[in-house]
Amino acid sequence: METVEMNSVSLKRPHSEDDVTNADEIKRQKISEKSETGNDSGQSVETVTGQPDKSLLEDTKNEIIPNEESEEQEDEELEDSDEDGDPESFADMMKHGLTESDVGITKFVSSHKGFSGILKERYSDFVVHEIGKDGRVSHLDDFSVPVDDEVNFEDPSEETFTVLSDEDKQRLEELQLLKNKETSVAIEVIEDTKEKRTVIHQAVKSLFPGLETKTEDRDGKKYIIAYHAAGKKALANPRKHSWPKSRGSYCHFVLYKENKDTMDAINVLSKFLRVKPNIFSYMGTKDKRAITVQEIAVLRITAQRLAHLNKCLMNFKLGNFSYKNHPLKLGELQGNHFTVVLRNITGTDDQIEQAMHSLREIGFINYYGMQRFGTTAVPTYQIGRAILQNSWNEVMDLILKPRPGAEKGYLVKCREEWAKTKDPAAALKKLPVKRCVEGQLLRGLLKYGMKNIISAFGIIPRNNRLMYIHSYQSYVWNNMVSKRIEEYGLRAVPGDLTLKGATAVHIEEGDVDNYTIHDVVMPLPGFDVIYPKHKIGEAYKEMLVADNLDINNMRHKIRDYSLSGAYRKIIIRPQNVNWEVVAYDDPRIPLFTTDLDKLEGKPLPVLPTDGKFRALKMEFSLPPSTYATMAIREVLKMDTSIKNQTQLNTTWLR
């Protein structure tokens, strides 16, 4: 059910002390990321507050968001080179965005007074550890490589990575990818020994899956000849015959990454290993602006090859290697464990204690966070509603029409051209970045014509298309859960739904005392759910009728757009909740040690007992498909929308 979400808009804090001091480090990261993925993320500061002085800019979630396609490098460089302009104009643009109340987020469950604090002033202030289906929290704590009883060409020595020249590697890569007409590549053996020949054989087979090698004598000299054994199929299926039968086909490892999202990291690994990204599997994607630790599995790539990448790559590390017979599947995780630092907090000790006790004992409303609905004046749920209504001209119009809000300059020009000419070719010429949704739809309209919008829309990757209807589901659910809390408060009532196993049942009058608010679930609208017997059920129907939809018939003539229903808890009570207030003077100093710090033997940060600033360090675990920012919202009592935060912060932005 989870989907790729719209690109988030990040506000950059001008001249922050952290940014200036770490400028050289940031430049190195930018250069590294450009060389690896074409993605220059930069540094941004996000703040959450109950008072008009700072801003929260990214929603942080614990969700499964599969992504089927990565951006082309040239597209990413164009996107990154087109900055949004000065912060003041950004704030003006965000006046057209959404607030929480626009998407049904209106209630709190706690009674304490709100206070302010900066979230993700440094990306290292937000750390996520994945919790596997067995309940084990993923940690990076071991760089060692497992040893097999059998030795094979997939276990390269250290010399393997240096024995081939750059020219050899270029020719071999072109051969591997069938980029030229050559049927083989000959590499002369300068030091003709059996050991040297073995290393070259090993290097070619290890670094270029799909190629085989043999030794030939030519004019009295020895050559290693590399050639394709199985054509294009070998690229997708590395040689099976050279993989030990006693070894599991999948190498599982822990990926530790900083300030990079999961798909970006996998694309970088794929590039360096010269394999396709689809041989990697994982249980869920993780936030970009954070330090995250999660398990990854890859088909028939050795731990030794993976471990070597630790010497080549910045911003992530690989470790805790093991071989298993199975890949990982999306959604298999139990959740994530969060370590979050809110800096420069204003709350009194009493307010903080009340807020954190409430979070631990009561929890927070399980809203879908703001990131679910996009950042511009056209919310994703409106497009989803038009899809469900079969209003395809409206779908096209909503995606392509001019809109106020924070957008790249080339998108603005593309939309203006579309509004003026309704010519997909002319609009596409204004769009250097072709892989965005707008570019994909325009290409579809060129291919299928203006009278076949359904087929044109189908060119957009499936996960992106489903994002829209799932956004509409989330919009309905947020509104209904707010109404449920308003009508009945924090108690179970007759007619509520609860889950028994995978089945939803109504709570009956005589049985209501056996349930608490934490047992209650509400349905996401779809064709295979039941609805509450009390007035919230009627509210669902009224809301969908107003949108020209039938709650009892959510099947769509296009199967992909038939909404499958599901049940979602209305209140989430985080597990393993802990917190402490710490003092600090320097905002550049980390306030706790990470897994990598511990592996590298870095000492705990030394903090003053009476610093200029106070920070709230909190830890908690959440199940899948819940938003960590909604928990933080409950603690701080603030609106997390970009629109609200930027309007509050025009003075700070200047």
Between strands 291-299 and 126-131, the pairing is: parallel
Q: Which residues participate in catalysis according to the annotation?
A: 287
Length of the chain: 654
CA atoms 461, 467, 468, 473: torsion sign: positive
Residues contacting 327, CB < 8 A, separation 6+: 250, 281, 297, 299
Q: Which residues of 446-455 are buried (b: 16+ CB within 10 A; e: fewer)?
A: bebeeeebbe
The gap between the terminal CA atoms of the chain, to the nearest Å, is 41
Alpha helices, DSSP H, located in 42-86: 73-81
Question: Quick one: 179 exposed, middle or buried, by C-beta within 10 A (0-12, 13-18, 19+)?
Answer: exposed
Tell me how far CA of residue 465 lies from CA of 444, 454, 462, 556, 616, in angstroms: 13, 11, 5, 14, 39
CB 567 within 8 A of CB 524: yes
The single-letter code of the amino acid at 381 is Y
Cα(128)–Cα(386) distance, integer angstroms: 36
Sequence-ordered strand ranges (E) for 534-593 = 566-569, 571-572, 575-584
Per DSSP, the residues of 609-653 read SS-SEEEEEEEEEE-TTB-HHHHHHHHHT----HHHHHHHTHHHH
**CB of 458 closer than 8 Å to CB of 511:** no
